[in-house]
């Protein structure tokens, strides 16, 4: 094609024009709002609050405020029979509510990701003039990635007609144009696509319209994929950091918006499959949005929603203790088994900052057979060389691992991105497919219609991978068929050459995590040894479960490493401080329970360590002559110094005993027995 550059510019402008015309003329809708500058507003108190009208371009909040909008509109006669919806942009994140539950999430645009924005709320496929709508929308004065500005304004609030035919043509052309640009100059396929797109521009300008243009695009999209094209096992995903550039309180609302948006897309597209990880996120949805949660459970039963990963959260693997990692699996798998009848057998850590060498051993011990990440693609200096590999831990345990060749969990589903994936896939000579996680993530949100429409067109398209709507488990099952002897093997730590400062910053949180881990172990040991503490807070098992869940949450990969904003660290320290205080009280009352009504001169000693312990301990010096006698422990030596009795005591691991300071005349008597 001569003058290709001019044609490329022409086609790009034409596609943008189509996109801008998908939503037609705007019709008025009125909005009022109620606002809180610091906290979310419970839906149950809305009728008690003062509401005020707001116009386009007026400010409704500063950063991190919350509001509810009431939007009222009436269908204009000119919209009769058309597909109509609300176009709503409050500058921040938002969620439409229906029957008191999140119904559809709305997301502002992201500069670096062209398919993030969600502004359109469908109201009717065939509008009836005079129909009135009263729409309730919760709004958050923050962007998808934190507070991007100081003031948040109402940018758009209107009814629009939605031209579905124009939208479908626009998607056709956008995919073909992206594919053509990604093919090398001189490629026959590139030349044919650009020629066809230029013909569509001519046809449109000549007024011949949609049908002829659609015929050309369909012919170009009908060319089958190459026989050697890889299969992209593709699952809609919305990676959600449980805290990062936003506090935990906002994560909970992000979860509601993300899950609601996924449910609406599942209703619209029979082929679509969505997946979400982290038991903690599901637990929040169950507590805060029970109606929404029941919808999710139904989609899981239907096989449309995938519960991903075996852990409570996507945890940091280098700072968390070994017992905590086991609890991540134990709590995560137990929750998913209890709630969904599913027990995932893979570790899902797409965004963590490197991976400890002991993970394969801990995974195998917890019946977790696969490891999934994409983070190793972030290495600054040395590209990680494999995408499918056997990972061997320090004890020789092995698991099947994968570093996604897409290098992404926010995949666009653009043909050009699939071409780049195939070109870098290190195990392409062994495997016929790869795992693809698509949709906007980090701050939640998930796929838009565009992602799914792309997938529908890329199932068998020349020049692109073969898109397959699937679960991650489908790819893992395929992966299991590959001969492990042919896969490369990686030994020990998977070090990430990035985020290095996260293991020194926010040292107080790291110390607090260490203390919580140790005191949880101490408290559990005392209960196992027979302690029955008297607690105002309820039974000890329930209390420890709650503290474990808090501790596992705070081991999330943007909390414990200290990579979050200041308010997240503040909230984490407050939660940890409260839990440490509760554990101190529980331990003290457990020790009191074991000690019982001790005789005068009787002291309880306890060794919470996993190994035998020998320590000098100090006691008050009795007034009369005495002889120390050990019960279920050994006295090695003793002496009086500086007004205190110093006794060197040996105690077996995870056990307790007593020290009796008998008067000399009674030293030969036998202490009462106890079980340890």
Residues serving a catalytic function are 351
Phi then psi for residue 125, to 5 deg, are -85, -15
Give DSSP secondary structure letters for 50-116: --EEE-TT-EEEETT-EEEEEEEEE--GGGTTS-EEEEEE-SSEEEEEETTEEEEEEB--BTTBTT-
Strands in 132-140's sheet, in edge-to-edge order, are 52-54, 30-36, 66-74, 132-140, 93-98, 101-106
Helix (H) or strand (E) holding 196: helix 188-205
Nearest to 281 by CA among 292, 273, 272, 270: 292
Return the HEC string of 122-156.
EEECCCCCCCEEEEEEEEECCECCECCCCEEECCE
Dist CA 635 CA 290 (whole Å)? 58
Contacts of 140 (CB under 8 A, 6+ apart): 40, 66, 92, 93, 94, 250, 253
Q: How many CB atoms lie within 10 A of CB 291?
A: 12
> In the structure encoding, which two tokens stand for residue 553, read together?
């949450």
Distances (CA, A) of 238 to 200, 277, 406, 471, 644: 35, 9, 15, 14, 62
Distances (CA, A) of 516 to 504, 552, 573, 578, 610: 18, 10, 11, 10, 16
Contacts of 562 (CB under 8 A, 6+ apart): 502, 505, 506, 509, 510, 569
> In the structure encoding, which two tokens stand for residue 345, read together?
């057998």
Q: How many CB atoms lie within 10 A of CB 514?
A: 12
Q: How many alpha carbons fall within 13 Å on the CB side of residue 325?
A: 23
The backbone region for 338, taken as left when phi is positive above 0, alpha when psi lies in -120 to 50, beta otherwise, is alpha
Contacts 24+ apart (CB under 8 A), 104-110: 104/260, 104/261, 104/264, 105/256, 105/257, 105/258, 105/260, 105/261, 105/444, 105/445, 105/446, 106/137, 106/257, 107/144, 107/257, 107/261, 107/440, 107/445, 108/143, 108/144, 110/143, 110/144, 110/145, 110/440
Helix (H) or strand (E) holding 30: strand 30-36
Dist CA 428 CA 228 (whole Å)? 10
Nearest to 533 by CA among 581, 587, 604, 584: 587
Residue listed under structure tokens 């073909």: 176
Angle ∠(99,100,102) on CA atoms, nearest 5: 95
């Amino acid at each position: 094609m001569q003058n290709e550059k001019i044609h490329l510019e022409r086609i790009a402008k034409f596609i943008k024009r189509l996109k801008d015309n998908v939503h037609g003329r705007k019709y008025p809708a009125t909005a009022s709002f109620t606002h809180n500058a610091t906290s979310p507003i419970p839906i149950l108190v809305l009728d008690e609050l003062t509401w005020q009208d707001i116009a386009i371009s007026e400010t409704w909040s500063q950063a991190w405020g919350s509001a509810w909008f009431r939007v009222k509109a009436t269908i204009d006669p000119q919209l009769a029979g058309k597909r109509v919806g609300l176009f709503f942009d409050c500058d921040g994140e938002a969620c439409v509510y229906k029957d008191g539950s999140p119904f559809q999430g709305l997301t502002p645009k992201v500069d670096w990701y062209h398919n993030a924005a969600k502004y359109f709320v469908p109201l009717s496929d065939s509008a009836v003039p005079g129909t009135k709508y009263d729409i309730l929308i919760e709004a958050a004065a923050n962007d998808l990635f934190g507070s991007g500005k100081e003031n948040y304004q109402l940018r758009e609030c209107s009814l629009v007609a939605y031209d579905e035919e124009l939208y479908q043509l626009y998607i056709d052309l956008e995919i073909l144009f992206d594919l053509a640009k990604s093919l090398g100059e001189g490629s026959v396929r590139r030349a044919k696509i650009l020629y066809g797109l230029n013909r569509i521009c001519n046809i449109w300008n000549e007024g011949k319209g949609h049908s002829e243009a659609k015929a050309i695009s369909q012919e170009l999209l009908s060319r089958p994929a190459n026989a050697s094209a890889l299969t992209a096992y593709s699952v809609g995903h919305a990676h959600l950091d449980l805290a990062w550039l936003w506090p935990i309180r906002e994560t909970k609302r992000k979860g509601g918006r993300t899950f609601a948006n996924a449910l609406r897309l599942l209703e619209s597209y029979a082929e679509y499959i969505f997946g979400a990880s982290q038991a903690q996120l599901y637990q929040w949805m169950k507590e805060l949005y029970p109606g929404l949660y029941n919808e999710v459970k139904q989609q899981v039963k239907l096989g449309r929603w995938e519960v991903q990963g075996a852990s409570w959260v996507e945890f940091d693997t280098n700072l968390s203790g070994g017992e905590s990692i086991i609890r991540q699996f134990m709590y995560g798998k137990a929750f998913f088994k209890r709630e969904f009848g599913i027990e995932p057998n893979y570790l899902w850590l797409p965004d963590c900052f490197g991976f400890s060498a002991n993970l394969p051993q801990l995974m195998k011990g917890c019946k977790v057979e696969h490891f999934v990440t994409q983070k190793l693609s972030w290495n600054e200096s040395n590209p990680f060389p494999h995408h499918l590999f056997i990972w061997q831990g320090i004890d020789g345990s092995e698991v099947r691992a994968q570093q996604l060749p897409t290098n992404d969990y926010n995949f666009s589903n653009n043909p050009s991105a699939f071409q780049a994936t195939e070109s870098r896939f290190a195990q392409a000579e062994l495997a016929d497919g790869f795992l693809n996680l698509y949709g906007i993530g980090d701050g939640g949100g998930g796929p838009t219609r565009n992602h799914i429409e792309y997938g529908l067109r890329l199932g068998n398209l020349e020049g692109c991978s073969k898109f397959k709507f699937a679960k991650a488990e489908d790819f893992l099952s395929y992966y299991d068929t590959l001969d492990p002897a042919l896969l490369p093997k990686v030994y020990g730590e998977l070090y990430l050459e990035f985020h290095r400062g996260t293991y020194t910053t926010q040292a107080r949180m790291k110390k607090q995590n260490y203390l919580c881990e140790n005191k949880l172990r101490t408290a559990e040991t005392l209960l196992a040894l027979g302690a029955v503490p008297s607690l105002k807070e309820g039974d000890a098992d329930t209390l420890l479960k709650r503290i474990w869940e808090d501790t596992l949450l705070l081991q999330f990969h943007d909390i414990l490493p200290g990579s979050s904003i200041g308010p997240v660290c503040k909230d984490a320290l407050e939660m940890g401080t409260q839990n440490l205080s509760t554990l101190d009280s529980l331990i003290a009352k457990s020790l009191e329970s074991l000690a019982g009504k001790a005789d005068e001169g009787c002291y309880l000693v306890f060794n919470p360590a996993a190994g035998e312990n020998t320590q000098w301990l100090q006691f008050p010096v009795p007034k009369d002559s005495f002889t120390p006698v050990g019960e279920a422990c050994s006295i090695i030596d003793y002496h009086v110094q500086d007004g205190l009795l110093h006794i060197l005591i040996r105690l077996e691991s995870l056990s307790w005993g007593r020290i009796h300071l008998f008067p000399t005349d009674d030293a030969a008597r036998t202490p009462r027995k106890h079980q340890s």
